[in-house]
């Protein structure tokens, strides 16, 4: 299908809901959701999602460019792929979200939020994942974002907590895709990738690729290493092997904003992966004081402006 992103941004359904190229059959499932099944399919299948946060446009443009390469046959598709533009209403508005952060709502958590476009969309996307993943067999889910802040590691991956180890191939691909750091969660969360991993056993990763910019202002050459690794993955080819291995971190603790009194002791310029030493006071919330417990910890996603009860930052420790 041509102009999938343009149709999605215009809020239009395409004239045809399904079709075929020399290499695959495509089906438009819903606004911003399209399935491509190659005539000869290999495993693992893929879920490629972007735009769960509507202001994170670079991965949306990258996904659109990959779809265009597939349509023209410049990439020969070898795997089933479900392409998802997560939050079309927020993409149109150029905002992270309109009512509530959708990437806290998965795993049925949307039922705990006031009803909104985002709660309805999270429910639709859960159904799409179920329909697709219960049919295609083993799958990888790559959910692509850009970070709000600058980062000591501009490209990194965040992995949901799971009971079984990640497959070596999956982790090796992350290095080939240019990720400089891999962060492992130790507790469940409401992210899209936690849902696909916990409910359907997918190998799942949230990719953070640079910093959020409006449509048209992204320098996609900064993502070319990730884009080439995605092209190779779609084509079932090996990616160019990485010469640098990413650093590994695990989540040591979470800073949560529980009350209006919450204060985060970091500047608005504090970058992701900034180091803090043992004993440093990170945040205060009434009687609760958040301090660094390990020798050195690194902050990820500091954001004092979240709704009450939500994450205002993660503290990491290195695990190499």
Q: Which residues are catalytic?
A: 208
Q: Which is nearer to Zn ion, 36 or 85 (CB)?
A: 85
Structure tokens at 105: 């709502």
DSSP 40-73: S--SSEEEEEE-SSTT--HHHHHHHHHHHHHHTT
**Which region among 22-30, 78-86, 142-150, 278-286 touches Zn ion (by CB under 5 A)?**
142-150
145 marked as binding residue: yes
Q: Are strands 263-264 and 45-50 parallel, antiparallel or unpaired?
A: unpaired
CA angle 118, 60, 212 (to 5 degrees): 80
Residues 268-307 that bind Zn ion (CB under 5 A): none
Nearer to Zn ion, 53 or 121 (CB): 53
**Residue 53 marked in a binding site:** yes
Least spacing, CB of residue 97 vs Zn ion, in Å:
10
Cβ count near 168 (within 10 Å): 8
Nearest-10 Cα torsion for 180, 205, 222, 96: -120
Minimum separation from the CB atom of position 213 to Zn ion (A): 13
CB of 145 vs Zn ion, minimal distance in Å? 3
Using the minimum distance from each CB to Zn ion, give the nearer residue, 145 or 195: 145
Alpha carbon separation from 191 to 90, 149, 282, 302 (Å, rounded): 17, 19, 24, 17
| Shortest spacing between CB 70 and Zn ion, in angstroms | 24
Q: Which is nearer to Zn ion, 35 or 196 (CB)?
A: 196
How many alpha carbons fall within 13 Å on the CB side of residue 188?
12
Write out the binding residues for Zn ion, residues 15-54 only, by CB under 5 A.
53
Residues 54-113 interacting with Zn ion (rule: CB under 5 A): 56
The SS3 assignment for 319 reads coil
Feature table: binding site: 53, 56, 145
Residues that bind Zn ion (CB under 5 A): 53, 56, 145
Feature table: binding site for Zn(2+): 53, 56, 145
């Amino acid at each position: 299908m041509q102009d999938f992103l343009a149709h999605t941004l215009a809020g239009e359904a395409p004239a045809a809901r399904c079709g075929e190229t020399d290499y695959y059959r495509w089906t438009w499932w819903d606004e911003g959701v399209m399935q491509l099944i190659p005539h000869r399919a290999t495993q693992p299948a893929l879920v490629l999602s972007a735009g769960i946060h509507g202001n994170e446009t670079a991965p949306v443009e990258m996904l659109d460019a990959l779809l265009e390469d597939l349509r023209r046959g410049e990439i020969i598709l070898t795997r089933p792929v479900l392409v998802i533009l997560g939050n079309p209403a927020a993409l149109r508005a150029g905002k992270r979200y309109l009512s509530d952060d959708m990437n806290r709502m998965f795993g049925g958590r949307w039922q705990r939020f006031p009803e909104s476009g985002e709660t309805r969309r999270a429910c639709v996307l859960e159904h799409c994942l179920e329909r697709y993943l219960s049919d295609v067999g083993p799958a990888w889910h790559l959910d692509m974002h850009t970070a709000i802040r600058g980062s000591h590691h501009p490209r990194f991956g965040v992995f949901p907590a799971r009971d079984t180890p990640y497959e070596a191939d999956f982790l090796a691909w992350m290095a080939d895709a240019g990720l400089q750091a891999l962060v492992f969660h130790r507790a469940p969360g409401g992210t899209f990738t936690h849902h696909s991993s916990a409910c359907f056993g997918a190998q799942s990763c949230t990719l953070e690729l640079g910093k959020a910019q409006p449509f048209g202002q992204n320098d996609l050459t900064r993502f070319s290493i990730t884009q080439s690794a995605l092209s190779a993955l779609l084509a079932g080819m090996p990616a160019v092997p990485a010469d640098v291995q990413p650093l590994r971190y695990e989540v040591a603790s979470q800073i949560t904003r529980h009350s209006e009194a919450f204060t985060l002791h970091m500047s608005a310029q504090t970058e992701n992966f900034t180091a803090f030493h043992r004993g440093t006071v990170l945040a205060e919330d009434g009687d609760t004081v958040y301090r660094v417990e390990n020798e050195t910890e690194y902050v990820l996603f500091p954001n004092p402006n979240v709704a009450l009860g939500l994450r205002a930052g993660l503290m990491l420790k290195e695990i190499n």
